[in-house]
Structure 1
């Protein structure tokens, strides 16, 4: 049954209020995020235990982030960039989104590598020969690859540290995706029956474990500090508070573990996932548990832009912190090579590969 706008607004308001209670701050006066029913998700059920149970589950259970990460969330402002088939640009801004970073390849203040332009994601990493052809003949300059997770559905016979180094050397910006535990109220889909879902009683513990696993997977592929890792939370129906609570608890714990390893915490979702994340992010006081550094939102509206239309307010994740999956499950042919892809507009961090000297030092330590 479709969720009414009134129910969506009530749930959003409740999440915001409870985040305030957990952080000891006053509720923000900003408008609520866009109605998630306006988004077009790629892929309903859920029970609502009532506001008292929701409060008991949420208050105090979203892990607090380091102050540097909180400051980064406070600094999100300005107009979001667009990626409407503009020339690809990759650069390193003067300042990193947050100061957390402990890997040995770069200082803690190392800036991320930002890509602005068009990208695509595909189930299995293509061959390097195919990537070389697409780099020359396609409009794309970034590629999303699935690096791990208990719900990753695709085999990755080619995905190694060498593949990542070579793809980056070809000029690709790599967007690492991790398919962890999914929402208890996951929408029906081809693989939903087999998907491992979040147990609300263990959401925080599972998020911590999955986040540590995501960091290990990223490190094994040679990704350096300040690289993003994007949590893939597939579409779910926001019909009640218990599912939203479990997803946000899991995501906050996952993000904390990823950041502890020196990576940026990204979040991919559609509809309810982005609405729930936005509700939390609207509270950006110093002690507010903002849950993601970068957002990758799925709205299949054929608009190759990252302006957040129908999904995100202007000030949320607006400073080189957005990816928009604007079309999915399309077949494209460039230079004689055909791939099935999802299309994305990107204005966000991409992977940074560890330097040769760092790789040599790590080999010596083994």
Structure 2
């Protein structure tokens, strides 16, 4: 038996898109005014989970920002000079000037319109918001009044930074990760020509994403700009102190991330139980199989399985029937039959992990098809054993 690891699916740390199942209710007769002017909506505001969601384009433009839609990444970018808000559809975390902001309810699509949390926009910009009956009144302020304002000539999204100035600069920024039981900050730099743009380190990683690097498992929390250097002059971001407090051990973002992980873990375990039930309580689920040829042109059986339990699997036994291209049984082995019995020993398949295992079928030379694959026994790391009845 040869073991091949193809992929590891850890739903709780990959932050799977989990439908909330929340009902969306139209905010009856609700109107939004920005600086005394009513916002004209094609799609009326809605309420989900106690959060008011508004059509993104009309609201963002009414607040004085430029709206752009990145279809490939399902991302909204609202920007005006040195203030930028990045929102990804269905993601629980947005970014304001590159700093992670947790959302009670993510942006969603309704009737062909992208709806975003109104509070994210107003808080991000430092605007004031008041409600009287069904009327919401917003009053904008200068960008420098926002707690996320950097005071630097930069446009900062969730993935890149752009120099808005006319001279070459070096951007110093920090990325925050959770590893080995603590939040860790790492320093990076980007050199930008006038009006130049550069992608951040780990630009495609979203807050909450999990990845391995040099044998260490990391969870990405977010990033912030520390300073820019132009010639001999260094200017520190006005929002750096706030960001560093938010990301630090025991800070708001760490607490919110833990809460998010707990929610995702609970959802994950619930889904795993549902999948286990659908699989007739068989711990290993067969999710795919194929026949390939080795270097000697002998057939190999490749079977992909996922552990549907909350315990680690350390050994298993399975069986399947072998057939040729004409759908005739291929007999081999001992006893001489077309039923193959295989085993996986000295393995460790954690909860939710998906592995592909391979078996040499040289004794079943003409095999081109597998049928009736079934798991017969499973041994767990806690010493317990499951057997097919």
Band of TM-score, shorter chain? under 0.3
Structure that is richer in helix per residue: 1
Query: Could you tell me the TM-score, scaled by structure 2's length?
Result: 0.20
Query: Could you tell me the TM-score, scaled by structure 1's length?
Result: 0.21
Higher radius of gyration, 1 or 2: 2
